[in-house]
């Protein structure tokens, strides 16, 4: 039996309880978690913005050590450090065949095997985004684990499983920021901080952070922001002033709200690019008129998991981390236990802090 944070019903408080994990079957891996990041997607799953079968073990951003493996698992062995991959690609569907593995049709079909996990009274549990990382140990499909690159601290490596891959990919794959371009980042949470660091790596001389909280300025500047704007009705105008009156070349929205997406669009120059990373609800409707679409010539695009291929991007990120260009620890503003997750959710709702990390 191991301890886990369980979501008993959508909108209900998390419960810390003992769960019974099976031994890994064929094509499965059992992992002892070192740490798990508390992501806004976990909050969205808990409150119903994103759907998940319940009761569930949430948590999808994690890293740990392999305890045991089932038959046919050859790429990892007991004792190996691994990063959890909540969106494994099948390699055979149409998106995978054309190289868009982040859009894999089967990434979230529940291949992880945690459906065999039960509470002490026999209640069946479901995984939140495949991996169920809010637990001391978990059982996942073999394609949900990636070998941890050498030289990366195991605890901080949890952030590679979502925030860092998403933020880095948003800059380098989705927005394709070029050296010399200006970037504005909306939302200074865990992903936003990863975007700021990635924009600096991409060679952006002007990196503007926007957030509702004045208290996040020091955090944003430490991550690479050259300027900081407290969100208001004049945000787009403030950004144009900081970019020669034109607007930013690229805006990355990490909030998922209609007003923020619209402001990000308004903050870019003619021909600028807005990449939406934040996950919003169906009620968040964004409106544009046909004339402005023609006149501004801007591009608006979505971004799933940073449009990343984790198997290819992890070694690249590891090189940046080892060289000191990317600081994983700078994303973490709080280290907590399982019982600290509800408070971390409240902090996210209130716009406080960066990434909370559950350390086991």
Distance CA(104)–CA(323), nearest Å, equals: 32
Distance CA(189)–CA(160), nearest Å, equals: 15
Per-residue pLDDT of the chain (360 residues; tens, 9 = 90+): 899 999 999 999 999 999 999 899 999 999 999 999 999 999 999 998 888 889 999 999 999 999 999 999 999 999 999 999 999 999 999 999 999 999 999 988 755 445 568 887 888 898 888 899 999 999 999 999 999 999 999 999 999 999 999 999 999 999 999 999 999 999 999 999 999 999 999 999 999 999 999 999 999 999 999 999 999 999 999 999 999 999 999 999 999 999 999 999 999 999 999 999 999 989 999 999 999 999 999 999 999 999 999 999 999 999 999 999 999 999 999 999 999 999 999 998 888 888 999 999
**Domain topology for 2-161+327-359:** Quinone Oxidoreductase; Chain A, domain 1 (3.90.180)
CA-closest candidate to residue 185, choices 154, 161, 208:
208
SS (H, E, C) 47-107: HCCCCCCCCEECCCEEEEEEEEECCCCCCCCCCCEEEECCCCCCCCCHHHHCCCHHHCCCC
Domains 2-161+327-359 and 167-304 share a fold: no
C-alpha dihedral, 7 to 333 to 208 to 288, nearest 10°: 10
Three-state DSSP class for residue 341 = helix
What pLDDT score was predicted for residue 113?
A: 47
What pLDDT score was predicted for residue 49?
A: 87
Predicted confidence (pLDDT) per residue in 188-205, tens digit:
999 999 999 999 999 999
Who contacts 168 (Cβ-Cβ below 8 Å, separation ≥6)? 194, 198, 201, 306, 308, 313, 317, 326
Predicted confidence (pLDDT) per residue in 318-344, tens digit:
999 999 999 999 999 999 999 999 999
What's the CA angle centered on 215, arms 213 and 218, to 5 degrees? 120
Predicted model pTM: 0.95
What pLDDT score was predicted for residue 112?
A: 46
Q: Which residue has the tokens 């950004």?
A: 239
What pLDDT score was predicted for residue 324?
A: 96
CA-closest candidate to residue 242, choices 269, 277, 206, 278:
206
Chain centre to alpha carbon of residue 42: 10
Contact between 140 and 31 under an 8 Å Cβ cutoff? The reply is yes
What are the E-state strand segments in the chain?
2-7, 15-20, 28-38, 56-57, 61-69, 81-84, 118-119, 126-127, 137-141, 145-147, 183-186, 207-211, 227-230, 248-253, 268-276, 299-302, 332-336, 355-359
**Where are the domains positioned within the chain?**
2-161+327-359, 167-304
What's the CA angle centered on 255, arms 254 and 259, to 5 degrees? 120
**Domain topology for 167-304:** Rossmann fold (3.40.50)
For 73, phi then psi, to 5°, come to -95, 120
């Amino acid at each position: 039996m191991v301890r886990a944070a369980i979501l008993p019903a959508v909108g209900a408080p998390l419960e810390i309880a003992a769960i019974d994990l099976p031994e890994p079957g064929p094509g499965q891996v059992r992992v002892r978690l070192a740490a798990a990041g508390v992501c806004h997607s976990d909050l969205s799953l808990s409150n119903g913005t994103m759907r998940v079968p319940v009761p569930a073990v949430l948590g999808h951003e994690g890293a740990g050590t392999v305890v045991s493996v089932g038959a046919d698992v050859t790429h990892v062995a007991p004792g190996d450090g691994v990063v959890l991959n909540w969106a494994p690609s099948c390699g055979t569907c149409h998106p995978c065949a054309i190289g868009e593995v982040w859009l894999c049709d089967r990434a979230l079909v529940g291949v992880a095997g945690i459906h065999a996990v039960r509470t002490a009274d026999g209640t069946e549990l479901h995984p939140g985004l495949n991996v169920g990382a809010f637990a001391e140990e978990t059982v996942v499909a073999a394609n949900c684990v990636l070998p941890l690159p050498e030289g990366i601290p195991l605890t901080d490596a949890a952030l590679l499983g979502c925030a860092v891959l998403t933020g880095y990919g948003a800059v380098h794959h989705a927005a394709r920021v070029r050296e010399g371009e200006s970037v504005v980042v909306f939302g200074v949470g865990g992903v936003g901080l990863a975007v700021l660091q990635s924009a600096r790596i991409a060679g952006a001389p002007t990196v503007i952070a926007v957030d509702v909280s004045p208290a996040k300025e020091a955090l944003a500047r430490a991550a690479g922001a050259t300027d900081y704007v407290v969100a208001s009705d004049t945000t787009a105008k403030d950004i144009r002033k900081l970019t020669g009156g034109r607007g930013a070349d690229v805006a990355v929205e990490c909030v998922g709200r209609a007003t923020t997406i619209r402001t990000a669009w308004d903050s870019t120059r003619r021909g600028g690019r807005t990449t939406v990373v934040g996950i919003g609800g169906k009620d968040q409707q964004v409106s544009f008129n046909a004339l402005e679409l023609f006149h501004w010539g801007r591009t608006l695009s979505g971004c799933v998991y940073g449009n990343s291929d984790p198997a290819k991007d992890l070694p690249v990120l590891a090189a940046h981390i080892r060289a000191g260009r990317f600081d994983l620890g700078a994303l973490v503003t709080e280290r907590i236990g399982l019982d600290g997750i509800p408070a971390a959710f409240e902090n996210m709702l209130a716009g406080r802090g960066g990434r909370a990390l559950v350390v086991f």
